[in-house]
Structure 1
């Protein structure tokens, strides 16, 4: 799975280390479901052009483990504010959706 390998690289986890794979795969699946919820019905799997969003959301979610339910976190001068994971990517998802609609003009589909 390419997203899992990319996620491990971003998190500095050796690709051959499998101890966290179960947790990482769950985070990836949840991120995929969230992205798919903004795509046209029946779109599966997440299109390759949008896989980076799944990976970035998974990094954000992994870094938030242990701080679930918090909107912000502060300790010894460090302050972190958590927002909606998908909000920064909605313009890219909407652009992809528009591009798909434009690409269907002039096509014939047989059902």
Structure 2
């Protein structure tokens, strides 16, 4: 059961960019396990209430997984040039900076 509207699913898929290593890394990161509110590893537990039932938790996890996949695809469409397949140097300069004491260069370090 899709959670996002049909108009937002697949609207930004670029088949030329699909096979690149960075895109594959982003897809793997999007479907990897992550914590949701109420779990010990979730960083904003004081701000968000935990789900009231297991069904609500699974719905939240499915929604966030789909959100991560869509955001990752749109980000890759912006960062990678569809003609050459190389990442944009302008966008990659942000990967080396820390934001909220977090760095982005840990997972996808194939493009320094």
The structure carrying a bigger helix percent of its residues is: 1
**TM-score, scaled to structure 1:** 0.31
* Higher RCO structure (Cα 8 Å, ≥6 apart): 2
**TM-score, scaled to structure 2:** 0.31
Give the structure with higher Rg (CA).
1
